[in-house]
Amino acid sequence: MSAEYPTEKCLLTMPDVVMNKLLGKLDFPAVQCLRKTCLTLRNFIDDVKPNSALIILEIKVEPNCITSLYYLEDFVEIDENLIRIKYCKTPEGCSVEWDKRDYRQQKKLLESENFVDAASKDIISVLANQKSVMESLNVEAVSPPDDILEEHKELLHQVTDQFLSNLESYLASKPKRLSVKTFETNVGDETQILHLLPHIDVGDLTIWNPNRYSDEVLNIQELIKLEQWKKLDSLHISGFSVDLRIEDLVHLKWCNVQYETVNSDMIEELKEAFRTSSHFESFRIICKPDIQQFMDPRYGGPHIVSQRYNVTNSWFFSVSTPERVLKVSFSRSQVLFQFDVLGNVPEGATIN
């Protein structure tokens, strides 16, 4: 310790009460910067657990890198209250990069440390301090656009599994689940979703396929057994087909899914569920073949709207609320169930 900074004036010698008051004056970016200065401060901050005040956490996993983006509760300008930290694999260990408030990039080498473990520890420390409900948690496995090598895809899968397993170990140990309004993820299979979903409280679930041009069927039979599944408000699955019964979806308010095949029984079952429901808002079912044929012919001819590249056939049904109707609309590759006000029914259209 130099003469300029004698031991008795060192920050590390301050009483705990004083340190707690100092932390209370700092915002989240400042606390995180302070946490990275030395092990003693890191341990003290982790013990005190000052509120992270996050609204959004985005995590991007790559074969040799993990990037975490933290959006703060009180942000006005996104760049002002966005913290981006990048953990990269190097021959010496793990390189950590982040931006300071003056936008200068900082870099630190963690010798002999695995980049997945380093990223996991920091993200867990932030989640441990989260006291409010987060708006969104987004976990994305990112493969480079030109990456077509099978070994790279396998490496990405392994890194993603390792990271999710680290996160799962922490979340499973929490006495109270992490609460998020929206959980969004792209996955290789159901097992990767199962690392996290059983350990969080969530209202909206979005699952999308990193391989946008795939025709894969996503097996989610274990997911639908979860308590979290039954409490979902909305479900959006993109890039995958699903093989679910309509009864597995009727607790939702909003739904957007794709089926390999659709039949008239499914359409009729969902239509009847909508007519008596007090919570449904909108369901969109996508199916590759032309599905307009699946509306029961007893309902008569549809109301037809022709646009340049598409024709929409719509049927209208009475519901339990007198001033509303159920509108079932078929286009070439989808059927949309949604409510409308009675006054918007086109002239001449039949209300079944």
Reported as a single tens digit per residue, the pLDDT across 161-180 is 999 999 999 999 988 899 99
The percentage of residues in the chain with a pLDDT greater than 70, rounded to a whole number, is 77
- Residue 42's H or E segment, with its range, is helix 39-48
Task: Give, in degrees to the nearest 5, the angle at Cα 340 between 338 and 344.
Answer: 140
* CA-closest candidate to residue 236, choices 191, 186, 276: 186
Query: Per-residue pLDDT averaged across 259-286, rounded?
Result: 91
- Residue 39's H or E segment, with its range, is helix 39-48
Q: Give the SS3 label for residue 176.
A: coil
CB neighbours of residue 345 within 10 Å: 16
Q: Are 89 and 65 in contact (CB under 8 A)?
A: yes
Longest dimension (CA), the chain: 93
The span from the CA of 278 to the CA of 266, in Å, is: 20
- What is the domain partition of the chain in residue ranges? 1-50, 270-352
How sure is the predictor about 1, in pLDDT bands with cuts at 50, 70 and 90?
very low
Count the helices and strands in the chain (H runs, E runs). 8, 15
pLDDT tens for each residue of 22-72 = 665 565 656 666 666 666 666 666 665 555 678 899 999 999 999 999 887
**What DSSP state is assigned to residue 192?**
H
pLDDT tens for each residue of 176-223 = 899 999 999 987 788 999 999 999 999 999 999 877 656 788 889 999
